[in-house]
């Protein structure tokens, strides 16, 4: 009898052992009993032990005749586990979805004869292309170019180069950019059917892509985040477009950043990786600056056209229509409507209003389960919590009054105001209206067909959308970005402003960008679309000991009992202070959002220049928390955190 440790999609920190009389290779999929059910897992290794003082159950079925995950795939998971401080079991369960494991069926063949359409790169693109394809080993290239500068064209040529050499390619984009247009564009240019991979595929479609990629019949996948973990046959290149995207950061345990995971994977597989963005993250920019990444800059929009003109409107001074629209922006929109051109308006807040204030006693209505204000939705007259999903129909203040006044403008309210000013011309795009990919595509199509003159949306619209007829972009208000306790505020504002500005005038017509703010004096407004921003912000980061100069880790302790959350956090703070390592330890304090879903939250943030000491600390803290033996304590490790709420 042989004993095997099997990785299972269950969130446990230990790995279970099963037995079989067969010899099983690492990476095979097997079905094993777990309690009363059967689950699919992966053979991790032959167990080190052969005697057990508890019952070892039998492996029921072996699903593959050759390993589903190769050695490298498993090494990749091990490295993620070591870097992010989660056990291998937790990483496996949190990242490799059941959907990937539970595919069945046989693979199929696809004809890879290429009849690609030709495009000739311009001199600037050609030079970058040639540099990138020089090397097949691990190296990371950062391609920095404004929207429309031709990054995607370079990717396509590089992809072609690798596919012609029988290498496979993973092209990963944010879920929102994974549009039929992009798939079609790449398919047409490569002359093959390109498969896409995302969360909304049917199990059958998923099967086709996963097996096809594993067996090498599919040369390329364009996919969302989860495609990084699909097993491959002969992977030769990874591309991450919009590498700076916040949505690449996973906030739930196991917390990890897809971009960084992809670089790790490329290193383990010893293949090149390309990161692309119009507004690279400070981390990637810095890595390029110090020579860790190769740096390529595209300076011009491919189709030319002068840059959009940029106007910053100080909301403190101006008269505002219905409280949200300066006359300057109003006139600019009106002019576009007259010229049969289109406008995109941006507002980073959903719902009707962000606060309800009691008319009787002045208290703000908070969620009962979370320390956050309730957002009002006029459409169904409810107050909702964006953190726990609580939805109140009947609103009552602690003082008994049910007379509230609303404050703050969300997209729902802005929509009504705009509809009133420009009847029949406005379409809204936010997480509340976009309930499916289909719905999203139909909204975008309607706008593209010029059925509406104004598209109003949240940050969803800042991403890769491409409308030739849009000549005006307005940002109704960006100030809530600056109110967060977060060292990335400037970076986020810069990225958002620059990306949104890139939406206007992508083609021949010259665009105009109008930004409304109460804080026009902030330096970032003077640096939109300007690479000088990076020097300015790197300087800030260095001054205040933040990434990329310092590594940061955040530990979050939450518990339904306030004192338990607090004491655990404090204990770990003392423990960490006792370590003789090169660390800056910020005091253990209540998290800015002090309660979510009735759990009280405390956090501890540590920083260091020394990557080794950070790694050691994460390990030691994890052990120390395990020693507390508090099964009801929720403990989260966030290495390279993106949010601090």
Q: Using CB under 6 A, which of 302, 330, 377, 644 touches ligand ADP?
A: 302
When asked if residue 388 is in the footprint of Zn ion (CB under 5 A), the reply is yes
CA diameter of the chain: 82
Q: Which is nearer to Zn ion, 99 or 597 (CB)?
A: 597
Q: Using CB under 6 A, which of 5, 73, 124, 153 touches ligand ADP?
A: 153
- CA 72 – CA 41 distance, rounded (Å): 17
Q: At what angle do helices 489-503 and 532-543 cross, to 10 degrees?
A: 170
User: Which of the choices Zn ion, ligand ADP, none does residue 358 contact, using the CB cut-off of 5 to 8 A by kind?
Assistant: Zn ion
Q: Which is nearer to ligand ADP, 172 or 370 (CB)?
A: 172
- Shortest Cβ distance from residue 119 to ligand ADP (Å)? 4
Q: Using CB under 6 A, which of 94, 148, 223, 457 touches ligand ADP?
A: 148
Q: Which is nearer to Zn ion, 119 or 405 (CB)?
A: 405
DSSP-based three-state secondary structure for 207: helix
Q: In terms of Cα–Cα distance, which of 431, 424, 494, 488 is closest to 457?
A: 431
Length reported for the chain? 645
User: Which of the choices ligand ADP, Zn ion, none does residue 27 contact, using the CB cut-off of 5 to 8 A by kind?
Assistant: none
DSSP-based three-state secondary structure for 144: strand
The DSSP code sequence of 410-421 is -HHHHHHHHHHH
- CA 85 – CA 91 distance, rounded (Å): 9
User: Which of the choices Zn ion, ligand ADP, none does residue 397 contact, using the CB cut-off of 5 to 8 A by kind?
Assistant: Zn ion
CA distances from 60 to 7, 19, 278, 381 (A): 15, 9, 51, 53
User: Which of the choices Zn ion, ligand ADP, none does residue 370 contact, using the CB cut-off of 5 to 8 A by kind?
Assistant: Zn ion
* CA within 13 Å, CB half, 363: 12
Q: Which is nearer to ligand ADP, 381 or 531 (CB)?
A: 531
When asked if residue 174 is in the footprint of ligand ADP (CB under 6 A), the reply is no
Q: Which is nearer to ligand ADP, 121 or 395 (CB)?
A: 121
When asked if residue 125 is in the footprint of ligand ADP (CB under 6 A), the reply is yes
- Shortest Cβ distance from residue 336 to ligand ADP (Å)? 22
Burial 436-458 (b: 16+ CB within 10 A, else e): ebeebeebbeebbeeebbbbbbb
User: Which of the choices Zn ion, ligand ADP, none does residue 163 contact, using the CB cut-off of 5 to 8 A by kind?
Assistant: none
Q: Which residues, numbered 390-409, are part of the site for Zn ion (CB under 5 A)? A: 390, 397, 399, 401
Strand order in the sheet with 375-377: 375-377, 382-384, 391-392
What DSSP state is assigned to residue 72?
H
Q: In terms of Cα–Cα distance, which of 226, 286, 291 is closest to 262?
A: 226
- Shortest Cβ distance from residue 199 to Zn ion (Å)? 25
- Shortest Cβ distance from residue 180 to ligand ADP (Å)? 15
- CA 284 – CA 327 distance, rounded (Å): 40
- Shortest Cβ distance from residue 131 to ligand ADP (Å)? 16
Q: Which is nearer to Zn ion, 599 or 622 (CB)?
A: 599
Q: In terms of Cα–Cα distance, which of 108, 228, 219 is closest to 172?
A: 228
Q: In terms of Cα–Cα distance, which of 610, 619, 608, 554 is closest to 584?
A: 608
Q: Which is nearer to ligand ADP, 285 or 557 (CB)?
A: 285
Stretch that binds ligand ADP, among 113-121, 213-221, 226-234, 365-373 (CB under 6 A): 113-121
User: Which of the choices Zn ion, ligand ADP, none does residue 567 contact, using the CB cut-off of 5 to 8 A by kind?
Assistant: none
End-to-end CA distance of the chain: 51
> Locate tokens 């001054």: which residue?
543
Contact call for residues 308 and 504 (beta carbons, < 8 A): yes
User: Which of the choices ligand ADP, Zn ion, none does residue 388 contact, using the CB cut-off of 5 to 8 A by kind?
Assistant: Zn ion
Q: Which is nearer to ligand ADP, 128 or 228 (CB)?
A: 128
Q: Using CB under 6 A, which of 29, 144, 151, 167 touches ligand ADP?
A: 151
Q: Where does this chain bind Zn ion (CB under 5 A)?
A: 358, 360-361, 363, 367, 369-370, 385, 387-388, 390, 397, 399, 401
Residues that bind ligand ADP (CB under 6 A): 119-122, 125, 145, 147-153, 302-303
């Amino acid at each position: 009898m042989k004993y095997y440790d099997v990785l299972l999609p269950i969130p446990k920190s230990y790995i279970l052992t099963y037995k079989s009389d067969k010899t099983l290779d690492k990476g095979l999929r097997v079905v094993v009993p777990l309690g009363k059910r059967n689950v699919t897992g992966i053979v991790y290794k032959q167990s080190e032990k052969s005697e057990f003082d508890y019952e070892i159950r039998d492996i029921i079925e072996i699903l593959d005749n050759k390993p589903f995950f190769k050695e490298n795939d498993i090494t990749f998971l091990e490295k993620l586990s070591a870097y992010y401080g989660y056990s291998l079991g937790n990483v496996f369960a949190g990242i490799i979805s059941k959907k990937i494991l539970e595919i069945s069926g046989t693979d199929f063949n696809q004809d890879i004869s290429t009849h690609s359409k030709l495009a000739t790169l311009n001199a600037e693109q050609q030079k970058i292309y040639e540099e990138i394809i020089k090397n097949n080993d691990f190296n990371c290239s950062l391609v920095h170019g404004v929207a429309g500068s031709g990054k995607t064209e370079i990717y396509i040529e590089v992809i072609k180069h690798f596919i012609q050499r029988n290498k496979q390619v993973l092209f990963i984009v944010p879920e929102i950019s994974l549009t039929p247009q992009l798939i079609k564009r790449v398919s047409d240019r490569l002359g093959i059917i390109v498969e896409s991979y995302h969360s909304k595929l049917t199990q059958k479609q998923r099967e086709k892509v996963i097996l096809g990629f594993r067996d090498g019949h599919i040369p390329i996948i364009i996919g969302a985040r989860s495609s990084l973990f699909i097993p491959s046959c002969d992977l030769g290149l990874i591309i991450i477009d919009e590498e700076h995207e916040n949505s690449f950061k996973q906030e739930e345990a196991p917390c990890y950043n897809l971009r960084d995971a992809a670089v790790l994977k490329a290193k383990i597989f010893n293949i090149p990786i390309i990161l692309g963005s119009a507004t690279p993250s400070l981390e990637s920019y810095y890595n390029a600056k110090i020579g860790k990444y190769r740096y390529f800059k595209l300076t011009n929009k491919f189709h030319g056209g002068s840059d959009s003109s940029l106007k910053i409107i100080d909301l403190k001074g101006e008269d505002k229509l219905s409280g949200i629209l300066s006359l300057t922006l109003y006139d600019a929109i009106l002019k576009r409507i007259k010229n049969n051109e289109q406008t995109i308006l941006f507002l980073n807040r959903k719902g009707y209003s962000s606060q309800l204030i009691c008319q009787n006693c002045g208290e703000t209505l908070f969620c009962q389960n979370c320390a956050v204000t309730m957002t009002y939705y006029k459409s169904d007259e409810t107050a909702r919590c964006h953190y726990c999903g609580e939805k109140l129909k009947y609103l009552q203040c602690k003082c008994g009054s049910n007379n509230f006044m609303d404050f703050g403008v969300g997209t729902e309210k802005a929509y009504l105001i705009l509809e009133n000013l420009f009847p029949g011309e406005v379409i809204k795009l936010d997480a509340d209206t976009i309930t499916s990919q289909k719905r999203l595509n139909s909204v975008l199509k309607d706008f593209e067909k010029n059925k509406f003159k104004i598209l109003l949306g949240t940050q969803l619209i800042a991403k890769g959308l491409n409308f030739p007829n849009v000549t005006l972009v307005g940002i109704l208000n960006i100030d809530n970005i600056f109110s967060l306790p977060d060292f990335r505020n400037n970076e986020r504002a810069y990225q958002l402003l620059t990306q949104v500005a890139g939406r206007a005038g992508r083609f021949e017509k010259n665009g105009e960008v109008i930004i409304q703010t109460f804080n026009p004096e902030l330096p970032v407004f003077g640096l939109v679309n300007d690479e000088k921003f990076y020097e300015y912000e790197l300087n800030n980061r260095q001054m205040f000991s933040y990434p990329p100069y310092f590594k940061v880790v955040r530990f979050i302790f939450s518990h339904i009992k306030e004192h338990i959350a607090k004491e655990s956090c404090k204990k770990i703070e003392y423990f960490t202070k006792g370590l003789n390592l090169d660390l800056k330890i910020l005091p253990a304090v209540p998290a800015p959002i002090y309660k979510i879903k009735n759990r009280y939250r405390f956090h501890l943030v540590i920083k260091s220049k020394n990557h080794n000491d950070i790694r050691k600390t994460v390990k030691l803290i994890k052990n120390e928390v395990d020693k507390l033996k508090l099964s009801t304590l929720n403990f989260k490790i966030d290495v390279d955190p993106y949010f601090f709420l």
